[in-house]
Amino acid sequence: MNLLNVTQKFATEDAAWDYLVRTRWPEGVRCLACDHDKCYQIATRGKTNKPIRLFECGECKLHFSATTGTLFHDSHLPLTKWFMAMALMAEAKKGVSALQVSRHIGVAYKTAWHLCHRIRKAMEELNSEPLGGQGKVIEIDETFLGGKKLGKGVKAAKDAKIRVLGIAERNGRVHLQRIKDGKAGALRVIFESKIDPTTKAVVTDGAPVFASIFNPAKHHAFKHEEDFAERGELTAKTVEGAFSLFKRGVIGSYHHLSEDHVDSYLQEFCWRFNRRKLQPFMFQTLLRELTQKKPLTYKKLTRETF
Ligand SMILES: [Zn+2]
């Protein structure tokens, strides 16, 4: 579903709420405290006469809403606006900034900023399956973002930038993450958790650190300066393609990438990239993840970063 479908299908708050309830509890509403399956919808009104949709548990009498304990928790924003922002973020190949979201859905920048961070939280892939496996090729590369320090030499400039490691399954999923330095110890830990040990081959740019980590029989090196055609099988085009798409997004949408939030932007990018072949279902997938992850308050977001 793209933005247009979402806006049409969920034109009213009621339509959006019904869909949220069905997504959170596909087999019927269950009590959040005692898991009882007899829960009744009760209609009540808030201070401004705004309807509040609550459930009451038939057993323990708990009152709860479909958004209680999810990433939607305590949001005063209409669900129709949430859904529009989610469609924008699930759809935008190169990412979308909080400013763009604020303009599209008609809310203040600060509201859009918090909204985008909560949606991004739903996109974190904490326990994803390792990449690679039998018969598969893994590509590894590094790139640097931002922080130009002129006149201090290439090495100083590189040190000042944000260093990003990319691991990709050829023509498949990617994992991008920020790393402090390119030392073997830290890299080894990442590779152990992210790469399936039965992987057929690993392709890197041949830096000595990679040669020291991988079994020489499985490790192949390419040269950055050679064309893809010359490299043949020794290509790293999946990981390089992901890097360039991410960078175009940073330049086109975010302009300035806050260093504090680089990790969550990388996660957002990977979430979308890894589902690029599942485009029609991305909105539904994202909604499910928003209902399954714990709340993220504005206070928590800003406390962690400032
Ligand atoms: Zn109950």
Three-state SS string across the chain, please? CCHHHHHHHCCCHHHHHHHHHHHHCCCCCCCCCCCCCCEEEEEEECCCCCEEEEEEECCCCCEECCCCCCCCCCCCCCHHHHHHHHHHHHHCCCCCCHHHHHHHHCCCHHHHHHHHHHHHHHCCCCCCCCECCCCCEEEEEEEEECCCCCCCHHHHHHHHCEEEEEEEECCCCEEEEEECCCCHHHHHHHHHHHECCCCCEEEECCCHHHHHHCCCCCEEECCCCCCHHHHCCCCCHHHHHHHHHHHHHHHHHHCCCCHHHHHHHHHHHHHHHCCHHHHHHHHHHHHHHHHHCCCCCHHHHHHHHC
Instruction: Determine phi and psi for 282, rounding to 5 degrees.
Output: -65, -35
Report yes or no on 201 lying in a domain.
yes
Of 72-76, 105-109, 167-171, 211-215, minimum mean pLDDT range: 72-76
CA of residue 37 to ligand 1 center, whole Å = 8
Report yes or no on 191 lying in a domain.
yes
**CATH number, position 228:** 3.30.420
CA of residue 59 to ligand 1 center, whole Å = 5
Report yes or no on 165 lying in a domain.
yes
At 31-56, the pLDDT tens digits run 999 999 999 999 877 777 777 889 99
CA of residue 49 to ligand 1 center, whole Å = 27
Radius of gyration of the chain (CA): 23
* 8 Å CB contact between 67 and 59: no
**Tokens 């991988």 map to which residue?**
214
Report yes or no on 176 lying in a domain.
yes
- Taking residues 56-84, report their average pLDDT: 93
CA of residue 61 to ligand 1 center, whole Å = 6
C-alpha–C-alpha distance, residues 86 and 100, integer Å = 13
CA of residue 17 to ligand 1 center, whole Å = 21
* 8 Å CB contact between 114 and 136: no
pTM value surpassing 0.85: no
CA of residue 41 to ligand 1 center, whole Å = 13
For residue 104, the model assigns a pLDDT of 93
The range of the structural domain enclosing residue 234 comes to 137-265
C-alpha–C-alpha distance, residues 95 and 270, integer Å = 11
Report yes or no on 13 lying in a domain.
no
* 8 Å CB contact between 253 and 92: yes
For residue 150, the model assigns a pLDDT of 46
Give how many domains the chain has, as a whole number.
1
CA of residue 63 to ligand 1 center, whole Å = 9
The whole-angstrom distance between residue 245's C-alpha and the CA centroid of its chain comes to: 15
For residue 265, the model assigns a pLDDT of 87
At 272-305, the pLDDT tens digits run 999 888 877 889 989 998 998 777 666 665 654 4
- Taking residues 230-258, report their average pLDDT: 78
Report yes or no on 285 lying in a domain.
no
CA of residue 46 to ligand 1 center, whole Å = 23
Which of 57, 53, 31, 32 lies closest to 44 in space, CA to CA? 53
CA of residue 62 to ligand 1 center, whole Å = 6
CA of residue 12 to ligand 1 center, whole Å = 29
- Supply the mean pLDDT for the chain: 85
- Taking residues 245-264, report their average pLDDT: 76
CA of residue 24 to ligand 1 center, whole Å = 17
Report yes or no on 41 lying in a domain.
no
CB atoms within 10 A of CB 208: 8
Report yes or no on 289 lying in a domain.
no
